[in-house]
Amino acid sequence: MRSTVTTAHRTTLTAVDEPMSKTCGYAPVNGLEMYYQIEGTGDPLVYIPAAFGFAGFPSFPTLMQSHSVITMDLQGHGRTADIPDRQLSIEQYGRDVVGLLTYLGIPKADFFGHSYGGATAVWIAAHHPELVRRVATYGATFGPPAIAHNTRMLRYDSPPTPDARAFDFKKKRYEQVAPDPDYWPHIWEKVATMKWDGFAREELASLEAPVLIVLGDHDFVRLDHAVATFELIPNAELSVIPDAGHFAPLSEQERILPIVRHFLEKPPERISVATAGMGFHPGETR
């Protein structure tokens, strides 16, 4: 048995035999009517999708067990219509997500972002630290392409197009929910030509929130770039998933989400990690 409550912008679904609820709607944000969903129970966790992702694609039931997961369709993605003459950028994504949180009345949250979504979450941590508790990223780049990209994994046999097989999976899902399914070539072109040169070293070094950097050992992101970023951010943690690529959050959640959940839920104060000089002492070092 399921009841539905509808307001001007929000629809809440609650199942009598299921503890999890789902709220969805459209928020007026910076000229957009931004679609969003909230699922689960617990402290707010903002998930920012990768390019061509949208709310529900993917979904994270593991995280919804202990968090209210807030996901949005970014400009031109999913159910959120594009603003044709406004270019896409990490900075604008960040401003739009901040606008959504303001609309929803959420003063502080954890963040989890995939690829460009991870860079967006870190941008918010850098420019709106008061909104951010912790940030988990997967497959994010933090610097310019020349130092961040694993060119071997980004190679195409021929110049990519909107109809290339590499994008077939995402194209089909876009067409299922987009207000104008025929707009796919336009949003593909805007994403393909989007520029992201990363953060200044000073921005990363000044981050206050703890940041988890996760990537696959066969990711689009270079391992040495991830390590260099890990060493630069004061409260950073690093996890490299063996035999995994850029799309592991879509294909192998069982390998990614336990790491993310542990990072988000562990206590802020922990026993020190043992150095050789300290040695291991139960209850004192780990």
Q: What is the mean pLDDT of residues 25-36?
A: 98
What are φ and ψ of residue 146, in 5° steps? Answer: -60, -30
Taking alpha carbons only, the member of 113, 146, 109 closest to residue 214 is 113
- The residue length of the chain stands at 286
Picking from 24-38, 107-121, 263-277, which range would have the lowest pLDDT averaged per residue? Answer: 263-277
**Position 8 pLDDT exceeds 60:** no
pLDDT-derived band of residue 19, with 50, 70 and 90 as boundaries? low
- What are the domain boundaries of the chain? 2-155+193-265
At 281, the amino acid letter reads: H
Per-residue pLDDT reduced to its tens digit, 70-122:
999 999 999 999 999 999 999 999 999 999 999 999 999 999 999 999 999 99
- Rounded CA-CA distance 224/222 in Å is 5
**Position 6 pLDDT exceeds 50:** no
Alpha helices in the chain (DSSP H): 61-64, 90-104, 116-127, 145-148, 168-177, 184-192, 201-205, 223-232, 248-251, 253-265
C-alpha pair distances (Å), 218 with each of 27, 94, 135, 226, 248: 37, 27, 22, 12, 10
At 152, the amino acid letter reads: R
Instruction: Give the three-state DSSP class for 145.
Output: helix
**Position 1 pLDDT exceeds 60:** no
- Per-residue confidence (pLDDT) for residue 21, from 0 to 100: 83
What does the mean pLDDT of the chain come to? 93
- Rounded CA-CA distance 243/218 in Å is 7
**Position 131 pLDDT exceeds 60:** yes
Per-residue pLDDT reduced to its tens digit, 46-70:
999 999 999 999 999 999 999 999 9
Q: How far apart are the first and last CA of the chain?
A: 48
Q: Give percent of the chain with pLDDT exceeding 70.
A: 93
**Nearest 5°: CA angle at 278, between 272 and 284?**
45
The enclosing H or E element of 45 equals: strand 43-48
- 49 alpha-carbon distance from chain centroid: 5
**Position 15 pLDDT exceeds 60:** no
Q: Which fold would CATH assign to domain 2-155+193-265?
A: Rossmann fold (3.40.50)
- Per-residue confidence (pLDDT) for residue 255, from 0 to 100: 97
- Rounded CA-CA distance 230/239 in Å is 10
pLDDT-derived band of residue 18, with 50, 70 and 90 as boundaries? low
Taking alpha carbons only, the member of 152, 150, 118 closest to residue 134 is 118
Q: Give percent of the chain with pLDDT exceeding 90.
A: 91
Reading the block at residue 57, the tokens are 């694609």
| DSSP code of residue 166 | G
The helix/strand count (H/E) of the chain reads as 10, 10
| Model pTM above 0.75 | yes
Per-residue pLDDT reduced to its tens digit, 141-176:
999 999 999 999 999 989 999 999 999 999 999 999
**Position 4 pLDDT exceeds 50:** no
